[in-house]
Amino acid sequence: MARKISMKQAINEALDLEMRRDPAVIVMGEDIVGGAGSPGEEDAWGGVLGVTKGLHAKYPGRLLDTPLSESAYIGAAIGAAACGMRPVAELMFLDFMGVCFDQILNQAAKFKYMFGGKAKTPVVIRAMVGAGFRAAAQHSQMLTPVFTHVPGLKVVCPSNAYDAKGLLIQAIRDDDPVIFCEHKNLYGHEADVPEEAYAIPFGEAAVVREGKDVTIVSYGLTVHRALEAAERLAKERIEAEVIDLRTLSPIDWDTVLESVETTGRLVVVDEANPRCSIATDVAAHVVQEAFGALKAAPQMVTAPHTPVPFSPVLEDLYIPTADAITAAVSKIAPRAMAA
Amino acid sequence: MTDQRIKPVVMPKWGLAMEEGKVTGWLKRPGDRIAVGEEIVEVETDKIAGVVEASEAGVLRRAIGEVDTVYPVKALIGVVADADVPEEEIDAYVAGYVTPSADEAGEEEAGPTYEFVETPAGRLRYARRGEGAETIVLVHGFGGDLDNWLFNIDALADKATVYALDLPGHGQSAKAMPEGGVEGLARALLGFMDALSIERAHLVGHSMGGAVSTLAANAAPGRARSLTLIGSAGLGEEINAGYIAGFVSAASRRELKPVVEQLFADPSLVSRQLVEDLLRYKRLDGVSAALEALSGAFLADGRQKTLVASSLAALDIPVLVVWGAEDRIIPAAHAEALNGRAKAEVIPGAGHMVQMEKASRVNELIGAHVTG
């Protein structure tokens, strides 16, 4: 039965249901139980923002608080996955990937390929992404394109509680390594979520709004900014179709291309930095595959090519805004529509 | 006194979740004479598009709802009145109309929430409306749920106490499929009636739900006061097996949409949200297995193997058969299968989901059948 819960609760519920279903599922990370010195299980924090709260009491021994060494425990999780477990390792902030990237890039992503398809690596690496949390340059980046660049990794970034639950369940059941990116400013966002377990297949974008005049492609937090822009554009009689990619590897080209073939106009909104990003990837692919359908040059609305600022004023300007998206659409919408 | 001669045309409430709807086109112009049941204005919700039909006769005096504009449920979108009602009175009525708030409307309808009941076939979801002495139970088809009766349940509640359930494996009911395919679902239907102490009911079944209802009526003589079979399975061997296979296997919006469009004479009725809601159901753990088991149980080599027509002869209860003339799932020719045993009505301009596409005609037929 569906009821409204937050994205944080939805992620907790996905972990809970999969741990109940499959004893091979374990959860690892820094302070995910409560950390050394936590006064007790009842009031254990359950991770830096409480996403894993309550799971330790339900599944004693299956939540492992790790030392502050990402290179050690991400490597251990990948090794456990290669040996038959289904670990979900929490990397806290995706920005911390630097110290464990060899384990991800050269080990987890390569096992299946280098062992001739005989090795499975069913590991999920959950991590917070994105700006707007006043957490400065080392805890706020949208590093999704770093991972989509690597073959052998699956990359997921949900925009809402319903998708977060279904995509995390799919990630845990998937036999390949999955980088699961959770936008920290969406943790409180609520949606209708069924109580039961369900899996959303990877590579299936969601058309979250239908429209005939322009296609806006996004993922994560900026899907909501795109929807806000689409509402404003509708008042000017411009009907925007909004596509939420949901998974970035694999990516649902068919849904994007079909939409652009109808609208003839593309705006890609990406919170990542602009060079070699999801925005450039989508724009380039559409230009190559659907050039004949395009009535105007694709537009990219992204963060600037700077670190995430600590100044709140600057940080608010950093994430693509509904204003910036509306302006990008207006630039390519024909005058007749804008009038 | 004039208020009784002035009848509002309001934004309808189709289903529990509907809070607003968009006027998409007027089928009548101000000044047109309107008979009961005539289509007045087209409305689209995020679930489905439909038509508002006249509940009372008169002249359309005002078409207030503007095309492509969204109005809350129960907002005044038009006025029907006799030709001799003065213009000033109509204007005064429009000026004085206050749209009931969503909360008030909810209270009026006395708790239209979904409920759950434990049965031998597991926990089943249902909706209940009306307080009439007669009882109607609405039984959806393969892959459907109680929202397939979105346009029927409230209209029928004027005449009877109406229940609509999610069969096992469907909607928000338990996903485990009972043994025995369609027969198993018929036992589950009787178990549902037992659990809610429904002694006797008029069974109304759509598609596979028609076969379920017929088997239940046979298995428990006396429990069914009448049968209404809508686009029913079990009355002949032909079936669009491609539809069933497509519905079971489709995992994405692009795969599912063309499959679901076959259900309607007018495929444009299939909205983004309708497809999304079906996908959300199909993704739940256990649903694929339930649908595969069920389709395997009632189909063999692309033909129906659960045939119930002959068993109807032995049943001493009134039977009504309703079909959409443009049904692309089960041919409308099956409406004649009962050949005098049942009243048969084939409705033009409708497909397999005839109870949605021509709701007011179907409601009228069911109403007359259960009260007559």
Q: C-alpha A241: how far from its chain's center?
A: 20
Nearest-Cα distance to chain A for B115, in Å, is: 10
pLDDT for the residue numbered A274: 97
- Interface membership of A231 toward B (CB under 8 Å): no
Residues of A acting as catalytic residues = 139
- Interface membership of B187 toward A (CB under 8 Å): no
Nearest-Cα distance to chain A for B116, in Å, is: 10
pLDDT for the residue numbered B286: 94
pLDDT in tens, A173-227: 999 999 999 999 999 999 999 999 999 999 999 999 999 999 999 999 999 999 9
**Averaged pLDDT, groups of 10, chain B, 372 residues long:** 77 78 91 87 82 85 90 91 90 88 51 83 95 96 95 91 97 92 96 97 98 96 95 96 96 94 92 91 95 94 91 89 97 88 92 94 94 81
Give dist(CA B343, CA B338) in Å, integer.
9
- Interface A-B, measured as beta-carbon pairs within 8 A, has a size of 37
Percent of chain A residues past pLDDT 70, beyond the cut = 95
pLDDT for the residue numbered B106: 47
Task: Please name the member of B114, B172, B284 whose beta carbon is closest to the beta carbon of A198.
Answer: B284
CATH class of B115-371: alpha beta
DSSP character for A48?
T
pLDDT for the residue numbered A188: 96
ipTM for the whole complex: 0.88
Task: Give contacts of B172 with chain A, Cβ < 8 Å.
Answer: 1-2, 194
Same fold, A2-194 and A206-338: yes
Nearest-Cα distance to chain A for B223, in Å, is: 30
Nearest-Cα distance to chain B for A24, in Å, is: 19
**Where are chain A's structural domains?**
2-194, 206-338
Residue B25 burial (CB count, 10 A): 13
Q: Which of B206, B229, B227, B219 is nearest to B142 (CA)?
A: B206
B253, B274, B276, B282: best to mutate for the A interface, most A CBs within 10 A = B253
CB contact under 8 A, A1 and B116: yes
CB contact under 8 A, A1 and B125: yes
B16, B68, B272: best to mutate for the A interface, most A CBs within 10 A = B272
Task: Give contacts of B284 with chain A, Cβ < 8 Å.
Answer: 194, 196-198
Would you call A282 helix, strand, or coil by DSSP? helix
pLDDT for the residue numbered A54: 87
CATH class of A206-338: alpha beta
Higher pLDDT, A336 or A288: A288
pLDDT in tens, A140-149: 999 999 999 9
pLDDT for the residue numbered A37: 55
CATH class of A2-194: alpha beta
H or E segment and range at residue A11: helix A7-21
DSSP character for B268?
G
Would you call B129 helix, strand, or coil by DSSP? strand
Task: Give contacts of A255 with chain B, Cβ < 8 Å.
Answer: 253-254
Task: Give contacts of B254 with chain A, Cβ < 8 Å.
Answer: 254-255, 258
DSSP character for B337?
T
Give the fold, CATH level 3, of B2-97.
OB fold (Dihydrolipoamide Acetyltransferase, E2P) (2.40.50)
pLDDT for the residue numbered A169: 98
**Where are chain B's structural domains?**
2-97, 115-371
